Amino acid sequence: MGQPLTLAPLTARARRGLVRWRVGEIVARFRAGTGRKAPAAASLPLPNTAAERPLFALRGIGKTFPGGVTALADIDLDIHEGEIFGIIGRSGAGKSTLLRLLNLLERPTAGGIAFDGHDLLALDAAELRTRRRRIGMIFQHFNLLSSRTVAGNVALPLELAGASKAAIARRVDELLELVGLAELRDRYPAQISGGQKQRVGIARALATHPRVLLCDEATSALDPETTQSILALLADINRRLGLTIVLITHQMQVIKAVAHRVAVLDAGAVAEIGDVADIVTAPRSAVTRTLLRELIGDEIPASVRERAARLAADGNGVVWRLAFRGAVVDTPLLAELSAAHPVATHLLHGYIDEVRGVPFGSLVALVAGENEHLRAAAGFLAARGVRVEEV
Amino acid sequence: MTPELARLLFDSLLETLWMVGVAGFFGTLAGLPLGVLLVVTDRGGLIRSVAVNRVLGAVANAVRSTPFIILMVAIIPFTRWIAGTSIGTTAAIVPLSIAAAPFIARLVEAALREVDRGLIEALLAMGATPWQVVRKALLPEALPGIVAALTVTAVSLVGHSAMAGAVGGGGLGDLGIRYGYQRFLPEVMAAVVVVLIVLVQLLQSLGDRLARRLSHR
């Protein structure tokens, strides 16, 4: 013991810049759980006054997996205390990796992350573990221990943190009450529904009084009704406890239902970021529009599109998608359009909704008329803040 | 069946149970941690260390690929050092334990790998140490699988212990060879086989029942 194990693969590891361990160190590390310390990232230009300091500050974050796949590149992101921050993207966009960077389940290969003003990458393993207790996490597949009851699962993080039996019992009761599962405390995960499992997951994640809750596709394995109830619970927790929530999802519905701000991720980069009301009602990037299309459902069926195209060809018309938001929702838009300009509108699809108090909607219509009148009509609509897009 | 034969069978059964029980105990004592180490030091494990993993894996394979009868004879000096003697039932326990340990380790390794990676991730996210992940998640979640592994080991130890006669080990196998084969008493051989079959059946159903009881999936 104590002799360095110098086998070929180890030398290769050493060449790749990894630490070479002795057997004794491995045993010690296993008992203490101290991991290797990552090389410190370049110092971060971070805001450091508490008032403007975000809870999470990501600067120039990149993640390239061994094997050369780049999951994330040059991500800058601030997540503020008390907000529900959504990250949306298609599968493979890198959102899961991004979320796992926030508690360092994945380490970035470039850039820096600060949590509550502390450089996460500079922490040693023990400090990181303490810090992780302030960062709760829930998962798509719940990740509950099948060998423990509901109460036992909720108690787990408290046991890990070394809380006393009495303190654990008190806190578990409190948490089960909060998520409405007091009755089911002695059931095993296999005996409860998916929605209930996620409630256990939430109770477990809140056990150590975290500053933030990370949600990894938390509702993707649930039916629509259960999804709504879990989202309502998350919104409620955010309101009542002032808890910051970061959630990733591929469903715009989830973002629309609970998020305050959202980052749209595409191919490992942020396509756009902003208030949910702005992003949903006035998307700027193509990927956001595609994601919204699933929410709005204004894809025109091929047969209708063909007929509209024929009509358009016959009578100098076009098919327009009109996207609008705010007060214009309350005006008889198409009637006013026809009154002001000699064009005929034929409605193909209409949608109206509301996000964080802002009404928004879209109309897809065949608009027939002379070209010059169509141009004038487009100007009329644009003047009222309606985005006109040819379909 | 004569009372003498019954007496012989009963004594031999006790010797077999003694050998299987004690070797199973020591085999588990060494094999369980070895199995855990094989999992946690592997690529993607909790404390990745390819070197340690390869060394442990090679040792386990070496022991497992040595035929038991050869292993038993080859380690006689070691057995004498540990047990004070190289013949008899107690002496047979030493090679049986050594053979059982890597066997258990590999089965435990397989059982631990069945545990969902998401659970490990969840515990790490809670701030668990690698040891806490093993103790609070890996072992409890794999317990039914580990019990099944120990059942298989016990059954296989019953088989191995039959060879213990080669070092004067006693037990049912030894009885069968000396009385049934060498003295040409087929009724003894038959009785030994029947007792062995019943014993294995009992061990297996006991293990199955325990594994089922422990599983909450």
pLDDT by 10s per residue, chain B, length 217: 788 888 989 999 999 999 999 999 999 999 999 999 999 999 888 999 999 999 999 999 999 999 998 998 899 999 999 988 888 888 899 999 999 999 999 999 999 999 999 999 999 999 999 999 999 999 999 999 999 999 999 999 999 988 877 677 788 988 888 888 888 888 889 999 999 999 999 999 999 999 999 998 8
Q: Does A13 touch chain B (CB under 8 A)?
A: yes
pLDDT digits (tens, 9 = 90+) for A137-165: 999 999 999 999 999 999 999 999 999 99
Contact check, Cβ <8 Å, A133/B127:
yes
CB B170 within 8 A of CB B88: yes
Per CATH, the number for A12-282 is: 3.40.50.300
Chain-chain contact of B129 with A32 (C-beta, under 8 angstroms): yes
Confidence of residue A14 (pLDDT cuts 50, 70, 90): very low
Return the bridge partners of A244, or none: A212
Q: What percent of chain A is predicted at pLDDT more than 90? A: 59
Is the Cβ pair A147, B128 closer than 8 Å?
Answer: no
Tokens 């006790």, residue? B14
Exposed e or buried b per residue across B185-198, where buried means at least 16 C-beta atoms within 10 angstroms of its C-beta: eeebbebbeebbee
Give the pLDDT band of residue A121 (cuts 50, 70, 90).
Answer: very high
Mutate to test the interface with B, among A23, A30, A103, A215 (most CBs of B within 10 A): A30
Q: Which of B172, B148, B177 is nearest to B161 (CA)?
A: B172
Domains and CATH numbers, chain B: 3-214 (1.10.3720.10)
- Is A155:A176 a contact under the CB 8 Å cutoff? no
Confidence band (pLDDT; 50, 70, 90) for A381? very high
Q: Which of B126, B139, B147 is the best substitution to test chain A (most A C-beta atoms within 10 A)?
A: B126
**Shortest Cα–Cα distance, B35 to chain A (Å):** 15
- Does the pLDDT of residue A199 top 70, yes or no? yes
Could you tell me the two tokens for A216?
A: 């990894």
What pLDDT does A369 receive?
85
Among B47, B50, B123, select the one facing A30 at the smallest CB separation: B47
Q: Give me the torsion for CA of B105, B109, B110, B113, rounded to 10°.
A: 170
Which sign does the torsion angle of CA A107, A108, A109, A114 carry?
negative
CB-CB under 8 Å, A189 with B47: no
How far A129 CA sits from the closest chain B CA (Å)? Answer: 4
The alpha carbon of B203 is separated from its chain's Cα centroid by a whole number of angstroms, namely 13
Residues of chain B in contact with residue A31, where contact means CB-CB under 8 angstroms, are 131
State the pLDDT at residue A50. 52
Give the pLDDT of residue B116.
94
B130 contacts in A (CB within 8 Å)?
29-30, 33
Instruction: Tell me how many degrees the CA angle A238-A244-A245 measures, rounded to the nearest 5.
Output: 85
**Mutation test of the interface with chain A: which of B40, B41, B48, B49, choosing the one with the most A Cβ atoms within 10 A?**
B49
Are A30 and B141 an interchain contact pair (Cβ–Cβ within 8 Å)?
no
Single out the residue of B63, B25, B20 nearest to residue B161, CA to CA.
Answer: B20
Asked if residues B52 and A25 have their Cβ atoms less than 8 Å apart, the reply is no
- Reading the block at residue B92, the tokens are 């047979």
* Residue of chain B minimizing CA distance to A7: B51
Residue A93 DSSP label: S
Q: Please indicate if any CB of chain B lies within 8 Å of the CB of A137.
A: yes
How far is the CA of A272 from the CAs of A90, A261, A276, A289, B70, in angstroms?
A: 14, 11, 11, 11, 70
The backbone region for B207, taken as left when phi is positive above 0, alpha when psi lies in -120 to 50, beta otherwise, is alpha
DSSP state of A361: E
Residue of chain B with shortest Cα separation from A206 = B126
At A343, list the tokens.
């064009």
Q: Is the pLDDT of residue A245 over 70?
A: yes
**Minimal C-alpha gap between A73 and chain B (Å):** 24
- Cβ–Cβ of B128/A26 closer than 8 Å? no
Q: Do B127 and A130 make contact, defined as CB atoms within 8 angstroms?
A: yes
What is the predicted pLDDT for the residue at A32?
52
Q: What pLDDT, on a 0 to 100 scale, did the predictor assign at position B180?
A: 85
Instruction: Tell me if A160 and B55 make a contact (CB, 8 A cut-off).
Output: no
Going from the C-alpha of A169 to that of each of A198, A205, A319, A381, B214, the distances in angstroms are 20, 16, 64, 62, 24
> What is d(CA A205, CA A237) in angstroms, rounded to the nearest whole number?
12
Is there a contact between A336 and A324 (Cβ–Cβ < 8 Å)?
no
Distance CA A138, CA A248 (A): 11
CB B153 within 8 Å of CB B100: yes
Q: Which residue has the tokens 């191919």?
A: A267
Contact B122 A32 (CB under 8 A): no
- Where along chain A do its domains lie? 12-282, 297-390
Torsion, Cα of A375, A379, A382, A388 (10° steps): 0
Q: Say yes or no to pLDDT of A48 above 80.
A: no
Task: Check pLDDT > 60 for residue A180.
Answer: yes
Among A residues 248-307, those touching chain B with beta carbons less than 8 Å apart: none
Q: At what angle do helices B50-65 and A8-15 cross, to 10 degrees?
A: 170
Q: Give the pLDDT of residue A28.
A: 53
Q: What is the pLDDT of residue A20?
A: 38
Within its chain, how far is the Cα of A38 from the centroid? 27
Residue A348 tokens read as: 């193909």
- Is residue A329 within 8 A of residue A360, CB to CB? The reply is yes
Q: Where are the alpha helices (DSSP H) in chain B?
A: 3-40, 50-65, 68-74, 76-83, 89-113, 117-125, 130-133, 139-161, 172-175, 186-214
| Residue corresponding to tokens 């500079």 | A122
Which of B130, B124, B67, B121 is CA-nearest to residue B99?
Answer: B67
**In this complex, which of B47, B125, B130 lies closest to A132 when CB atoms are compared?**
B125
User: Which residues 56-115 on chain B approach chain A with CB closer than 8 angstroms?
Assistant: none
Using an 8 Å Cβ cutoff, are A181 and A215 in contact? no
Q: Say what percent of chain A tops pLDDT 70.
A: 86
The CATH class, in words, for A297-390 is alpha beta
Q: Are strands A212-216 and A244-249 parallel, antiparallel or unpaired?
A: parallel
A30 touches chain B (CB under 8 A): yes
pLDDT of residue A36: 42
- Closest-CA distance of chain A to residue B94, Å: 24
* Chain A residue with the nearest C-alpha to that of B122: A143
Q: Rounded to a whole number, what is the distance in Å from the CA of A50 to chain B's nearest CA?
A: 25
Q: Tell me which H or E stretch contains A275.
A: strand A269-275
Using CA atoms, how far apart are residues A308 and A338, in angstroms rounded to an integer? Answer: 19
Do residue B55 and residue A5 have CB atoms under 8 angstroms apart?
A: yes
* Rounded-to-integer distance, Cα B204 and Cα B110, Å: 19
The string of pLDDT tens digits covering residues A308-334 is 777 777 767 888 888 888 888 888 888
Higher pLDDT, A348 or A149: A149
pTM as predicted: 0.84
Whether the CB-CB separation of A168 and A247 falls below 8 Å is answered with: no
